[in-house]
């Protein structure tokens, strides 16, 4: 079979591991031939591709980024974009397409599926917010990077008697903040799911310091919202620009929060924005294995003819779910996880998880 492949949206560690797994199993088991379309959907619109074989995927397992490169190109926003994608698939005699991406990339895959293209999706995002699957690859690596940063921030915060506010990625869902905040021993974790009251955050820090602590660590997701002034109910934006899928550029909540905390408590406070460091570099062992399992699952789905579907992880098994289900909703941090976390904070630190 001649199979096309692309990676779309923000990159994440593990993309190369998926590509490698698909090419290896496709070659060894099914005698497939592969074409990699470059830079996400732009590669189909402009017919930019490269052949993918065992040689081109050799040595890429530990590499971050994606050998196919990526972009946030939305064919639905380009003149004749969807038609051009279909034309490129026909021109290259592609019999099935594997799209590796988050909800934006997979929503285009669904549109192509509705037009008769044989497409299978694979879920990718460090934010871990895609529906239909328990985990996306890239998330574990991002959490490890943030956890290491928190360990480092701890020692400098402690040395200077400071409050440190660490901003992490997470546009609509606070998975990275919650997991890395727990792993890194944060004192306060703020997530988009629960708009927070800055007075309560400041008060909980003040109480902690009155109990004899000299420093505090706050982890805040970039999409976390102030419940009231200085920015009620809306995420903080870097600028007014939007990408082709309509997403604004988030960022800056840590700086504002640091200023407000210092104003209210008098404690010296600094902001750290981890940004794209969370997406770069080599995947963790967990993500290498998960990405490999997704790749192997997806190539089997292609050969079983399970099109319009996405490889998903459910109860530690790779299964096939409809693309339509995966893109139908953002998977936010659920109440059970939040309650579990609050229980931990309550017992150890007298209810320091705020944002309720």
CB of 75 to ligand F6P, least distance (A): 18
Sequence-separated (6 or more) residues with CB below 8 Å from residue 300: 25
Task: Please give the residue ranges that form the binding site for ligand F6P (CB under 6 A).
Answer: 9-10, 125-127, 169-171, 222, 250, 279
Name the residue nearer to ligand F6P (CB basis): 60 or 248.
248
Q: Using CB atoms, what's the residue nearest to ligand F6P?
A: 10
Name the residue nearer to ligand F6P (CB basis): 86 or 147.
147
The verdict on whether 129 is a catalytic residue reads: no
Name the residue nearer to ligand F6P (CB basis): 125 or 269.
125
134: left (phi over 0), alpha (psi -120 to 50) or beta: alpha
CB of 140 to ligand F6P, least distance (A): 14
Place of tokens 């409050």: 163
Query: For 229, phi and psi rounded to 5 degrees?
Result: -55, 150
CA distance linking residue 23 with residue 60, whole number of Å: 12
CB of 85 to ligand F6P, least distance (A): 21
Structure tokens given for 188:
């306060």
CB of 127 to ligand F6P, least distance (A): 5
CB 53 within 8 Å of CB 23: yes
CB of 91 to ligand F6P, least distance (A): 29
Q: How far is CA 321 from CA 5, 123, 133, 288, in A?
A: 19, 11, 8, 22
Name the residue nearer to ligand F6P (CB basis): 65 or 322.
65
Name the residue nearer to ligand F6P (CB basis): 248 or 319.
248
What is the side-by-side order of every strand in the sheet holding 49-52?
49-52, 33-37, 2-7, 96-101, 119-123, 309-314, 317-322
CA 217 to chain centre: 23
Name the residue nearer to ligand F6P (CB basis): 22 or 250.
250
Out of 127, 172, 287, 300, which one is annotated catalytic?
Answer: 127
Burial class, 152, CB count within 10 angstroms (exposed 0-12 / middle 13-18 / buried 19+): exposed
CB of 138 to ligand F6P, least distance (A): 8
Query: For 126, phi and psi rounded to 5 degrees?
Result: -70, -20
- Catalytic residues, which ones? 127
């Amino acid at each position: 079979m001649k199979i096309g492949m692309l990676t779309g949206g923000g990159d994440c560690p593990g993309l190369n591991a998926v590509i490698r797994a698909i090419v290896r199993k496709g070659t060894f088991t099914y005698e497939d031939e592969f074409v990699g379309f470059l830079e996400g959907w732009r590669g189909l619109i402009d017919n930019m591709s490269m052949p993918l074989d065992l040689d081109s995927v050799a040595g890429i397992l530990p590499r971050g980024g994606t050998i196919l490169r990526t972009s946030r190109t939305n064919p639905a926003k380009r003149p004749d974009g969807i038609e051009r994608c279909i034309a490129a698939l026909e021109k290259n005699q592609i019999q099935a397409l594997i799209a590796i991406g988050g909800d934006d990339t997979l929503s285009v895959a669904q549109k192509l599926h509705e037009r008769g293209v044989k497409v299978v999706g694979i879920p990718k995002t460090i934010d871990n917010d895609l529906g239909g699957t328990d985990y996306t690859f890239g998330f574990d690596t991002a959490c490890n990077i943030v956890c290491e940063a928190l360990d480092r921030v701890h020692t400098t915060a402690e040395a200077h008697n400071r409050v440190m506010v660490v901003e992490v990625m997470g546009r609509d869902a606070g998975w990275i903040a919650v997991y890395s905040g727990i792993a890194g021993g944060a004192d306060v974790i703020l997530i988009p799911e629960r708009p927070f009251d800055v007075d309560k955050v400041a008060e909980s820090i003040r109480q902690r310091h009155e109990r004899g602590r000299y420093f505090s660590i706050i982890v805040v997701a970039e999409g976390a919202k102030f419940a009231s002034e200085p920015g009620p109910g809306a995420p903080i934006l870097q600028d007014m620009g939007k990408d082709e899928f309509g997403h604004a550029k988030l960022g800056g909540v840590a700086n504002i929060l640091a200023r407000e905390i210092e104003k209210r408590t008098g404690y010296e406070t600094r902001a750290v924005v981890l940004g794209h460091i969370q997406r770069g570099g080599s995947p963790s062992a967990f993500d290498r294995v998960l990405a490999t399992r997704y790749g192997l699952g997806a190539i089997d789905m292609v050969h079983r003819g399970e099109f319009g579907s996405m490889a998903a992880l459910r109860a530690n098994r790779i299964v096939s779910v409809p693309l339509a289900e995966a893109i139908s909703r953002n998977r936010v941090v659920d109440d059970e996880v939040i309650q579990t976390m609050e229980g931990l904070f309550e017992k150890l630190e007298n209810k320091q998880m705020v944002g309720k």
